[in-house]
Structure 1
């Protein structure tokens, strides 16, 4: 199981590539953000966003994230410096800290208490595309939107955040095929998960 945005934008294509190498394997892919499916034995392997501690589970770090604001090109044209965000609607996600990014940009601001709160990063990205506001987003998830021009980075400043991990129950170590897939995912992550370069 995978966090929805990471599953759709990072995992699905890699599973397809792995199945080309191992056509005898079958995958059942679900989306989840919590650890319940893993702890209950409903999923063998999970991809999650978080800190280093994963109680009751083994964890392998895929890559660290850097976060930065993204918005529609039309909205970006109205923004010159990070101070301009004071008059914008800020789109929020429970795991992403605007306050931390503001500090990296040299501003003292509290965590916004208002503005749409999205539990799904994909929906927040689509909200930004629709011009609903400025979203703070992890670089790997924003990358496809930046590449095709649906979103832009209005400012160069970014800051480190949490990381994406593969997590699994300890019993996974007794399953060679599953462990081989985990090691392959980690290698693929090492081959390129850097945040997109700033380009307005």
Structure 2
């Protein structure tokens, strides 16, 4: 018997855990997943723990008020989502019914999904109950329009080939660290006082936000020690733990600044330029579902922008 002839049950976890995992990963919330599945939050948590024990890996990073997918969780979600979609489509065909909702695949960074979009998704679901958002956290830009995703939300300067990019909202960036790190290594009287670092960065081909900020303050950070981490969520956790200096994306860390778990080292030297969050769509006419989502998220961004970005004091 070949590997592909082996019984599926040999490599399948309890199927209920997969359904629960898909709901939690898509919503990035145990509470919203529990509401969707009409079960208790405790039951959802139990099923996720059961799946993690079966797989031998953590699928989520748990925090007090939010969760996010680990690298393993993100990879597994992609495969589970496609599998469940295939089962659902097959079921609809057998039963001879059409889908009651229209799926919309949104590729985005896990950090933006966790800290900005997820808290607003209840509003979208209430306004557009016939659209089923499928959040696809990924570091890489998905192949928009070729089935991988219908739309993407990306952080950067807006220069991506063969797609249309529209600025959703600008970001305000400035170095941040934990109060404990500041007490041990500060006070920082000039940017050169940060030369011991380490600077906490997520893996990327080009660290454009650090480049833009260092150019803004005319500081050469070439020789400053750096630590490369998987993504921005991990960068933030490392900074909160006092392990170094991160570039603070103010729109994503407002609650951490307000709570005092992170502080801006030089709030007066914050950079507000061309860096921000961009809506990336196919360079072609868009369907009505995409346009509905674009209209909603633009309104949400405008509402957020009405509250001015104020530097945090320390």
Q: Deviations over 1:37-96 (max 9, x none)?
A: 425321111110122333222222111112101111111222232232122322124334
Is structure 2 residue 188 aligned with structure 1 residue 80? yes
SS for the counterpart of 1:116 is strand
- The equivalent of 2:303 in structure 1 is 191
CA contact (8 A) 1:140 1:196 kept: no
Please state how far the C-alpha of 1:146 moved relative to its aligned partner.
0.9
Unpaired segments of 5 or more residues in structure 2? 1-106
| Counterparts of residues 138-149 of structure 1 (less than 5 Å) | 138-149=249-260
- Structure 1: which 5+ runs fail to align? none
Instruction: Choose the corresponding residue for 1:168, options 281, 293, 304.
Output: 281
Match of 2:57 in 1: none
Number of matched pairs:
198
- Correspondence 1:7-156 to 2 at 5 A: 7-38=113-144, 40-77=146-183, 78-81=186-189, 82-93=191-202, 94=204, 95-105=207-217, 107-112=218-223, 114-156=225-267
Bigger Rg, which one: 2
What TM-score results when the alignment is normalised by the length of structure 1? 0.87
**How far, CA to CA, are the matches of 2:262 and 2:169 in structure 1?**
23
1:4 aligns to 2:110 (yes or no): yes
Q: RMSD of the alignment, in Å? A: 2.2
Distance 1:190 1:92, change over 3 A: same
**Residues 84 and 143 from structure 1, CA distance in 2 versus in 1: closer, same or farther, beyond 3 angstroms?**
same
Quote the Cα distance in structure 2 between the aligned partners of 1:59 and 1:18.
22
Checking the alignment, whether the CA contact within 8 Å between 1:146 and 1:152 is kept in structure 2 is yes
Distance 1:26 1:172 in 2: 21
Higher helix share: 2
Query: Contact 1:60/1:186 (CA < 8 Å) preserved in 2?
Result: no
Partners of 1:133 and 1:168 lie apart in 2 by 36
User: Aligned equivalents of 1:100 and 1:59: distance in 2?
Assistant: 20
For residues 252 and 131 of structure 2, the distance between their equivalents in structure 1, rounded to whole angstroms, comes to: 27
The 1-side partners of 2:187 and 2:146 are apart by 47
Cα distance, 1:119 vs structure 2: 4.0
Q: Secondary structure at the match of 1:98?
A: helix
- Residues in 2 aligned to 1:149 and 1:37: alpha-carbon distance in whole angstroms: 39
Q: Which residue of 1 aligns with 2:95?
A: none
Secondary structure of 1:69 counterpart: strand
